[in-house]
Structure 1
């Protein structure tokens, strides 16, 4: 679509200019390419990241990337881990300090059945980016490096951007939309005049990728003490372990060395852990900030350009990638002319509350883990480890914790894109909630085909799945085919014998299986796996009204 003259005669260099080639920008570029939209991706850095930075991918992120075929590549490249070793402080006996007791806790459980990915995937940011870059390169999408966004101006049709590189005259790029995925110091955010409210924390942290002897492999090791926490994560590449530890208040500043890292480990653990062969050592501080808005005109923010927070819970990169997937399918529909630009307003409506919730949750966790109030110090030094280990032995507690940390519980129930039809359903996932993933005991699905579908009416895969639940005889064949013919460029129509029994499971209720006839129900599921519309009964007029209401455009008769 780029390069064509649109309306006023404006020529676009790309439908979307993405500034920033980190995980968020790369994921957005992949989404747009999948849906047949041209994206230009630029980055000020001359080379990709080689340090690990973010290192964990959550189940929900893998789910939303699975539609693009990326999840399996990431899992193959990473280290799925589900076991945590909680270490308490050793006790002093006869003048010597005994080794700290360790409690092995299974974080996740494959029997949960909530997802195809019942684990935390450890993969360095560099490794994540390699998978995304390779997929883009195989599709002919490259990254233009060494370019800095230095200017932007908007009009009714698009955005004119100025890109600069040392020793080269400035270049002007014309694009329909601009998305800033350029990190905490986002030039896009600054040039768009969007504020970044929040605060910085005084604590300083040491971060290192290195080798370590004396640790049980394949486990996440957490040491709690009055001074704070120490984490050792199994990494694999570019080194065997990632170390994260808070430095003592008032400690000296200066170059971060292996000796400083070893001293911190010895101080926190009292165990015989020997660090060696560091690949990367750095010191950092933490801020918690949120953009005042995620969109201004034709300019959008995603990832760290929109929100930054503490690394508690490994939420940062995952939240950014899910920003990209949420925005990607909406931008694609608008750029293809298949939806009204008003659809883009739902991006901020859905993702800003998520980011606000992530900041609140990580701030609370950060305070509990690092606060120096005597009560908090006493809890960490004493009962915190055995109590946490006891709680996490409960399958219910693990399930609840997994759904929270893995981001499976994120929902958009208050979004304008989440609509309950009439007659309403009294069970199953609600509009705005994640639809239970395929393979989780789901009833078999068969697709309804039309001549239009067979001729590939859309430049990319369908953005919606229309699930018709119940006996096939309940669904009038002529009406179903008419419905799909009008919307074949946006959706597939699929028949399944029964509706999901709950928000978390696609398996039908036993009562439904035992009935001779189960009542029909319908779910319109978005590209990112959330329910947009649902209703009881076999009348498809409500689903059609929903699509028209969100600005989607049917094919002409």
Structure 2
């Protein structure tokens, strides 16, 4: 069987999945029904957690070099800035990337495609999925090419990265419960000058029509995202930028010099019933969609892809049983549901109508926000949430144990102390053990025998402050989340963990 994984959809989520699988030796085929990659900026934000994970494929540095990091978010009321939340101050010490990073989707896709081509994988375009059948050990897909001719493609697994109208989701019959916001959204990429074109993120709280100004670079190119709720919303196809621009120009004092792109659309808030059925998986927008509040959508899809990639690679290599793949839904569906609920609450607050809602936004929120953000705990919670470094798998069947303040399922805390970055070893995709302090000889011998990387960090006060226990064992999964936390640091705990899940560390198997 030449294709182990057939990927439907070559947006950022599908491309990231293909890259992670290819790096782990999995043969992939990736198709897309469009004739070319996207040419508009669309999704913009890359969160800190995505940048951390991108280190595994040496993507972080080119992404940062090619984009723009946003140092702060500003709240505006009645034409005045009411509050400013500086990301760099809040996130310092929590992540190597204490900022919101802007990297437009068209640039993002070009980088991912270039990396795939360097690995010998071409995106096959003008090809769409017609149908597929799930067999006992594989899937058989029916594909239609640009000339209308159809062909069969067999693969062990199929992954739908094909967006909100996913054909894969339709074939497996997984529902997509949720709803559609009644507001009409508009998006405009413009060249502008003025206070709100200073390279930071700006949100106008004045009216029930949401308005956000997202910097694309520090040279005045910005993305406006807003809503329209009056009679203009019924004429979406006829709307032009001039029909919706007055608020941005008047409230945020923008001078728009050039409109590069303008479009309108409706937004849904939905999560599919199942992320897996048989040999088929749903990833990204095919599994969950929500409002653009917080810049979470693309990052969540990328997180899905990385979570699934190491599990598919392990099963395909014979290093784990098929049931490992069930943990993909168990870990990601709960997060998706919480995210949709959270973004829905934020968006509903920003767009609620009526005198009470207006009072909350224009009088109460501008007073409470600056007061609340004076507290370090509040600022840190907000940053952890938006940056996705708070995402955890505590309830996963793959998580076992607690050592100090670190629970299995946590993202490993980032510490750069004594001139040593504890994230440096995480560039390798594979199981590894971290010990902060000293490692027993028996533990070192077990790791050597089983091909599991052992990384020992000299104990520092910063390790204790982050919640580590001195000399404890922290087993990290290939996606860098803590799988096992054990204060005894006994090799028997590792042996028991892998035996219980019937996993052979990939690096130790020939």
TM-score, scaled to structure 2: 0.92
Question: Which secondary structure state, in structure 1, belongs to the residue aligned with residue 205 of structure 2?
Answer: strand
Query: Does structure 1 retain, via aligned residues, the 8 Å contact 2:91–2:383?
Result: no
Moved more, 406-415 or 211-220: 211-220
- Verify: 1:433 aligned to 2:410, yes or no: yes
Displacement after TM superposition at 1:329 (Å): 0.5
RMSD after superposition: 2.7
| 3-state SS in 1 of match to 2:456 | strand
Aligned counterparts of 2:187 and 2:270: Cα–Cα separation in 1: 21
Shift of 1:546: 0.5
Does the CA-based 8 Å contact 2:198-2:218 persist in structure 1? Answer: no
Q: 1:404 to 1:471 in 2, by over 3 A?
A: same
d(CA) in 1 for partners of 2:151, 2:121? 20
Further displaced range: 52-61 or 175-184: 52-61
The correspondence for 1:256, drawn from 227, 239, 250, is: 239
CA distance in 2, matches of 1:84, 1:304: 26
Which residue is 1:48 aligned to?
37
2:497 counterpart of 1:546: yes
* Secondary structure class of the residue paired with 2:116: helix
Could you tell me how far apart the structure 1 residues matched to 2:385 and 2:423 are? 33
Partners of 2:215 and 2:481 lie apart in 1 by: 32
Which residue of structure 2 aligns with residue 171 of structure 1?
A: 151
Rounded to whole Å, the distance in 1 between the matches of 2:354 and 2:320 is 53
Pair 435,270 (structure 1): closer, same or farther in 2 beyond 3 Å: closer
CA contact (8 A) 2:208 2:350 kept: no
After superposition, residues 516-531 of structure 1 pair within 5 angstroms as: 520-531=471-482
Q: Give 2:14's aligned residue.
A: 25
Asked whether 1:370 is paired with 2:351, we answer yes
Q: Provide the C-alpha distance between the structure 1 equivalents of 2:359 and 2:12, rounded to a whole number of angstroms.
A: 39
Q: Show the counterpart of 2:457.
A: 496
**Which structure 2 residue ranges, 5 or more long, are not aligned?**
none
Name which of 174, 185, 192 aligns with 2:172: 192
Q: Structure 1 residue 228: deviation in Å?
A: 3.2
- Greater CA deviation, 544-553 or 29-38? 544-553
State yes or no: 1:508 paired with 2:497: no
More helix by share: 2
Q: Give the superposition deviation at 1:238.
A: 12
When residues 361 and 167 of structure 1 are mapped into structure 2, their CA distance, relative to the original with a 3 A threshold, is: same
Of 434-443 and 284-293, deviating more is 434-443
> Once the 2 structures are TM-superposed, how far is the Cα of residue 173 of structure 1 from its aligned partner?
0.8
1:14 aligns with 2:6: no
Determine whether 1:265 maps to 2:248.
yes
Q: Does 1:464 align with 2:464?
A: no
CA contact under 8 A between 2:432 and 2:477: conserved in structure 1? yes
Q: Which residue of 1 aligns with 2:441?
A: 476
Q: Give the match for residue 68 of structure 1.
A: 57
User: How far off its partner does 1:168 sit?
Assistant: 4.0
Question: Does structure 2 retain, via aligned residues, the 8 Å contact 1:245–1:264?
Answer: no
Q: CA deviation at 1:445?
A: 7.2
* Bigger Cα Rg: 1
Kept in 1: contact 2:437–2:457 (CA 8 A): yes
Change (3 A) 1:212 1:519: closer
Displacement, 1:88? Answer: 1.2
| Paired residue total | 504
2:202 is matched with 221
Contact 1:447 1:492 in 2 (8 A): no
In 2, the alpha carbon distance for the partners of 1:72 and 1:149 equals 35
1:534 aligns with 2:495: no
Deviation at 1:437, TM superposition (A): 2.5
* In the alignment, structure 1 residue 114 sits paired with structure 2 residue 94: yes
Structure 1: give runs of 5+ residues left out of the alignment.
1-11, 91-99, 449-459, 513-517
Greater Cα shift, 179-188 or 53-62: 53-62
Contact between 1:447 and 1:494, CA under 8 Å: does it hold in 2? no
Q: Cα 1:238–1:50, aligned 2, differ >3 Å: closer, same or farther? A: farther
| Structure 1 residues 196-218: Cα deviation after superposition (integer angstroms, max 9, x where no partner) | 11111111111111111223421
Alpha-carbon distance in 2 for matches of 1:436, 1:105: 23
Aligned equivalents of 1:64, 1:522: Cα separation in 2: 22
Compare 62-71 and 16-25 and name the one that shifted more: 62-71
Please give the alpha-carbon distance, in whole angstroms, between the structure 1 residues aligned to 2:35 and 2:509: 47
Which residue matches 1:95? none
TM-score (norm 1): 0.85
Task: Report the Cα distance in structure 1 between the residues aligned to 2:467 and 2:53, rounded to whole angstroms.
Answer: 31
Distance 1:299 1:442, change over 3 A: farther
Asked if the contact 2:82–2:370 (Cα under 8 Å) also holds between the matched residues in 1, the reply is no
2:291 to 298, 310, 317: 310
